[in-house]
Chain A
Amino acid sequence: MHSSPYIQNNENVSRMMLAVIYALIPGTLVYIHFFGFGVIINIFIAVITALICEVVILKIRNRPVKPFIYDGTAVLTAILLALALPSLTPWWLAALGAGFAIIIAKHLYGGMGYNPFNPAMVGYAMLLIAFPKEMTAWIPAEIHGLNFFDTLNYSFFETLPAGMNYDALTMATPLDSIKTQLSLGYTLDEIHTTNASLFGNIAGYGWEWINIMFLIGGIVLISIKVISWHIPVSMLGALAFMAMIFNFSDAGSYSPISFHLFGGAAMLGAFFIATDPVTAAASNRGRLIYGAGIGILIYIIRTWGGYPDAIAFAVLLMNMAVPMIDYYSKPPVFGAPSKG
């Protein structure tokens, strides 16, 4: 049985990580445009924490520090985690998540290349379970009126400018509010007309642009062959397929495909999170199964589950299934008798 990362040397890893980080830039810039400087503050805090934790743990484990720091995996984990957080958060949220991701999810399982679970998503899931209030309150896109120093001030001292109130300022994401209001008995049309400003043109004001930018970044990554197309295509395809069936059966209570693809973190998840080479399936056939599993799980958790978005849990659940997928999707050895 083969195991996932086929890594020959660290230069390859760092080249790949660097390409992924570059591909995140357009989406991140649009994210900052809509949700303020909290995004960049979170990235900064998460990266610093991740690097400190990485160095400390490598020292404790008597491993060489330099090659593992320069491979960039810790930085990428931290950035992905920070991009998943709401933008207006206290500093310790990003720090705690990044520390948990690096120490518990990565190094306790053996470090780079050995972790069965995507570290960024473990950190995110931990934060979501431990701090549900802080993790589900987002500021409204573009009209929040907070400048860099206001955000910094909130991040470190949890004080907002005079006249602003955290509970009044923050709101649920489009995905979250659809879920809440559906449960109150409204139809999708009613929800969309009463909250027109939240939902924008396609899938959520601001969110749609962030998703389009991550989609472009992801396509660039595929075209320069840093990631293969199998996981993103099968994941988005499965998500779209599920959305299509249910939307077709009852358009009043199941959101359309466009909303599922562009309303949450689907693009970020499909191109940047699910494609993590360490925790994903290894063969191309396995990757198709793995991606489709994530897509289906995202739809199920979003529609009937208890959490607003589902990328983290879907990815972690499929991470768990990876050894079995790898076992059954093993490409036949050359020369072995075929079954068919």
Chain B
Amino acid sequence: MSDTSYSKIIYNGLWVNNPAFVQLLGLCPLLAVSNTVINGLGLGLATTLTLVASNVMVSIIRHWVRPEIRIPVFVLIIASTVTIIELSMNAWFHELYNILGIFIPLIVTNCAIIARAEAFASKNTVSSSFLDGLFMGLGFTAVLVLLGAMREAIGFGTLFQQAHLMFGEAARGFTITLFDDYRGYLLAILPPGAFIGLGFLIAGKNIIDKKRLAREKLLSNEQVEVPAPAAS
């Protein structure tokens, strides 16, 4: 991957190797906090920040860390990054921090982060590692927000509720009520809703990929290689 162009890194992070859709990494926080758009966005951005910071640091020190001890070093870097983010969220987004609770410190266990450190940042330049972290994180955030929107719409019948937790008091009015007098559908908010929702999202992505592949085949009339899911 060392000769990857920037646009390929972006495409990789957002679609081809999307950590949540394709690599299925970091499912625990993904499934646990994606019950509203704002929760998803909050955790997604925190994860993105961690990914960018850890990728950049790992990439900077990549020539000086002996391969035998690289994993403990990566873990230390990730843990300190997460601690910084956790403390800052506690200070500036305290209510959101209370809602996301344990899942902020648990970002440290998100396999997507150490996977990117190991598979990408430890072998690539600082600038491409930065980009990789950013777009892997944004890909993860996109799935979180999409799943959050699905679950919030079906579960509560609203979108962007409690937006003030992230965007301040002015955002209280952001909440969109989709259905008036909606009873709520508890299942979508509970964990089963997350599993079913993610299943549908992945199925949707696979359909799009298949259609695309068929069209490309039709256009070029030759075998196109299927993007293989990264093993990690």
Contacts and interface: CB of A to CB of B under 8 A. Distances in A.
Interface of A: 104, 108, 126, 129-132
A130 B196 contact: no
A104 B200 CA distance: 11
Nearest to A127: B187
Given A129-B192, A132-B186, 10 more contacts: A104-B196, A126-B187, A126-B192, A129-B187, A129-B190, A130-B185, A130-B186, A130-B187, A130-B188, A131-B183
A132 B188 CA distance: 14
Interface of B: 183, 185-188, 190, 192, 196, 199
Nearest to B196: A104
Nearest to A131: B186
Contacts of B183: 131
Secondary structure of the B side of the interface? helix
A104 B187 CA distance: 14
B196 A129 contact: no
Nearest to B190: A129
Nearest to B184: A130
Contacts of B188: 130
Closest 9 pairs (CB-CB, A-B):
A130-B187, A130-B186, A130-B185, A129-B187, A126-B187, A129-B186, A129-B190, A104-B196, A131-B186
Among the interface residues A108, A130, A132, which one has the most CB atoms of the partner chain B within 10 A? A130
Contacts of B192: 126, 129
Contacts of A130: 185-188
Contacts of A129: 186-187, 190, 192
15 contacts: A104-B196, A108-B199, A126-B187, A126-B192, A129-B186, A129-B187, A129-B190, A129-B192, A130-B185, A130-B186, A130-B187, A130-B188, A131-B183, A131-B186, A132-B186
Nearest to A130: B187
A276 to B, nearest CB: 21
A260 B190 CA distance: 30
Contacts of B186: 129-132
Nearest to B203: A108
B214 to A, nearest CB: 16
Contacts of A132: 186
A132 B187 CA distance: 11
Nearest to B183: A131
A131 B184 CA distance: 9
A320 to B, nearest CB: 14
B188 to A, nearest CB: 8
B131 to A, nearest CB: 37
